[in-house]
Amino acid sequence: VNLNAFEIISLSAGFDLSGLFEESDD
Amino acid sequence: MGCFHSKITKHTPGYEDPTILAAETPFTVSEVEALYELFKKISSSIIDDGLIHKEEFQLALFRNRNRRNLFSDRIFDLFDYKRNEVIEFGEFVRSLGVFHPNAPVSDKVAFAFRLYDLRNTGYIEREELREMVLALLHESDLVLSEDFVEMIVDKTFSDADTKGDGRIDPDEWKEFVSRNPSLIKNMTLPYLKDITLAFPSFVISSEVEDSE
């Protein structure tokens, strides 16, 4: 198996900070 | 000595001078000011006290204040240097600075290490790695057998733990990342490269000259 556990972990949505920069119009 | 007109704005409790923050981070003064506008927006989304609470952080990230996630919790905790359960403006800027494309790779590597060192022991332990993989599986619809998870964790550990003492120390981590640079890919947010252009609505008129 060539999977790296850290690479798998980094797929988590919790790592995606781009939401901070998105405008919400609510 | 510069002479400038400062807009009369009510600054939040943890407000810090943008020129100081710019000097300590990869951001320019204008970018720090743009980040302040963003900070004000996030920090007033639930409790208008000029501080980012964990729920506000979750709300900004996921558009849902109740959506918890191990990794976003960890990131919040790392942003919260003072450990007072809120993120102040200075903490926000300094922490985001690590995610800037121009931030030193060593800062990104160190931040990722702290992120994965769930119990703050100074090491990434096998059990922590296993716990993180399971957390990811839990939040996704991905189904992997327990044996498969153990195999992935074992394989990763045997690659990273070069000293073979059952834990990954900062030096081993650094070396492992140098062999697997994709591991710190999510430590860079291209948005930050020029936040003033990407988010022009956040830019306020400023007569402070960027030093760079």
pLDDT of residue B4: 53
Size of interface A-B (CB pairs under 8 A): 96
Q: What is the pLDDT of residues B36-72, one digit of tens each?
A: 989 999 999 999 999 999 999 999 998 888 887 888 8
> Are A14 and B74 in contact (CB < 8 Å)?
yes
pLDDT over 90, % of chain B: 69
CA-nearest residue to A12 within chain B is: B136
Nearest CA in chain B to A11: B136
Cβ distance of A14 and B186 shorter than 8 Å: no
Q: What part of A 1-26 touches B (C-beta under 8 Å)?
A: 1, 3-21, 23-24
Structure confidence at residue B67 (pLDDT): 81
Q: Nearest to residue B53, comparing CAs of B38, B70, B35, B65?
A: B65
Q: pLDDT of A1-26, one tens digit each?
A: 567 999 989 888 778 898 888 765 44
Mean pLDDT of B113-122: 95
Q: Residues 6 or more apart from B197 whose CB is under 8 A from it?
A: none
DSSP H helices in chain B: 18-24, 29-43, 54-62, 70-79, 89-98, 105-116, 126-139, 146-160, 170-179, 195-198
Task: Assign B15 a pLDDT band (cuts: 50, 70, 90).
Answer: confident
Closest residue on chain A to B154 (Cα)? A5
B212 to chain A, minimum CA–CA distance in Å?
24
CA angle B194, B111, B51 (to 5 degrees): 65
**Residues A15, B60: C-beta atoms closer than 8 Å:** no
CA distance to partner chain B, nearest, from residue A25 (Å): 11
Percent of chain B with pLDDT over 70: 88
**What is the per-residue pLDDT for B199?**
61
d(CA B192, CA B99): 8
Which of A20, A22, A23, A25 to mutate: most B Cβ within 10 Å? A20
